[in-house]
């Protein structure tokens, strides 16, 4: 099911003898309409967000991808006003389906609920911290933080925006 969703969210046609493409980030401008077309809902929002995390993780895993990400963040000036992917990187594109599903009411969001109702549009929030780490060039910590995001998304952890750390349970 995840492979089908990834395919619908930006996967490209490929010859049968070529290797499967890796996960890719999908621009929010494309992702949200596709999320809605699939009927939306919390389960789909989590799947779409996990797919976005897979795309970011694949990008961060390569030197070329990491360099591109750092360049986009540095070039944006104020990265919170950056262009949508692939011309820019706004960490809110990672959670766009979650935001859309709850009509941007953070206290209703499964992530917002696990970070004290805080908005992800804050640099110390679960998704906002991604931007902080990229801007600092802290690739190893970003890799760890992506696992923090997965834990919060799965409901097995909480995020403390004040301490910028994960709490399990």
Write down the domain spans for the chain.
23-160
pLDDT at 121: 86
**35, 48 contact by CB (below 8 A):** yes
CA–CA dist 164, 153 (Å, integer): 16
**45, 103 contact by CB (below 8 A):** no
Q: What is the mean pLDDT of each run of 10 residues along the chain (169 residues)?
A: 39 38 84 94 95 95 94 75 73 91 92 90 91 94 96 95 91
pLDDT at 56: 95
* CB-based contacts of 169, cutoff 8 Å, min separation 6: 156, 157, 158
pLDDT at 17: 38
Specify the 3-state DSSP secondary structure of 158: strand
Supply the pTM of this predicted model: 0.82
**132, 79 contact by CB (below 8 A):** no
pLDDT at 61: 96
**52, 94 contact by CB (below 8 A):** yes
pLDDT at 9: 40
pLDDT at 20: 45
CA–CA dist 88, 19 (Å, integer): 27
**58, 65 contact by CB (below 8 A):** yes
């Amino acid at each position: 099911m995840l492979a089908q969703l990834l395919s619908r969210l930006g996967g490209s046609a490929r010859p049968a003898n070529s290797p499967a493409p890796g996960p890719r980030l999908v621009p929010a401008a494309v992702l949200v309409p596709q999320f809605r077309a699939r009927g939306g809902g919390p389960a789909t929002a989590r799947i779409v967000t996990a797919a976005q995390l897979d795309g970011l993780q694949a990008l961060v895993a390569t030197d070329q991808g990491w360099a591109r990400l750092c360049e986009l963040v540095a070039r944006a000036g104020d990265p919170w006003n950056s262009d949508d992917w692939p011309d820019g990187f706004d960490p809110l594109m990672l959670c766009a389906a979650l935001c859309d599903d709850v009509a941007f009411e953070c206290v209703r969001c499964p992530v917002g609920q696990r970070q004290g109702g805080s908005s992800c549009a804050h640099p110390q929030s679960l998704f906002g911290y991604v931007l902080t780490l990229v801007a600092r060039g802290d690739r190893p910590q970003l890799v760890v933080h992506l696992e923090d995001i997965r834990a919060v998304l799965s409901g097995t952890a909480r995020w403390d925006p004040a301490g910028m750390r994960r709490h399990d349970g």
